Amino acid sequence: MSCSRSGLILVGNLDESAKKAARWLVEKTPIRTLRDWGIKFSLWPVHFTTSCCGAEFAAASAPRFDAERFGFLPFLSPRQTNLWVIEGTLTRKMAEAAKIVYAQMPEPKFVIAMGACAIDGGVFYNSYNIVKPPEIFPIDFYIPGCPPRPEAVARAIIMLQRKVISGEYVRGGKRVVK
Per-residue model confidence (pLDDT) at position 153: 87
Per-residue model confidence (pLDDT) at position 2: 46
CATH of the domain at 57: 3.40.50.12280
Mean pLDDT of 18-42: 76
Domain that holds residue 52: 45-172
Position 19 in a domain:
no
pTM of the model: 0.75
Determine the Cα–Cα distance for residues 40 and 18; give it in Å rounded to an integer: 28
Per-residue model confidence (pLDDT) at position 169: 66
Position 71 in a domain:
yes
- Checking if the pLDDT of 73 tops 80, the result is no
Helix (H, G, I), strand (E, B) or coil at 96: helix
> Average model confidence (pLDDT) for the chain?
79
Position 65 in a domain:
yes
How many structural domains comprise the chain?
Answer: 1
Percent of the chain whose pLDDT exceeds 70: 84
| Cβ pair 163, 169 in contact under 8 A | yes
Position 36 in a domain:
no
Task: Dump pLDDT digits (tens) for 74-102.
Answer: 777 778 888 888 888 888 888 898 889 88
Position 8 in a domain:
no
Peptide bond into 45 cis (omega under 30): no
The whole-angstrom distance between residue 36's C-alpha and the CA centroid of its chain comes to 13
Which residue type does 174 have?
K
Helix (H, G, I), strand (E, B) or coil at 174: strand
DSSP labels for 83-106? EEEEES--BHHHHHHHHHHHHHSP
Position 32 in a domain:
no
The pairing of strands 110-114 and 141-143 is: parallel
Position 39 in a domain:
no
Mean pLDDT of 65-77: 76
- Checking if the pLDDT of 9 tops 80, the result is no
Position 17 in a domain:
no
Per-residue model confidence (pLDDT) at position 8: 61
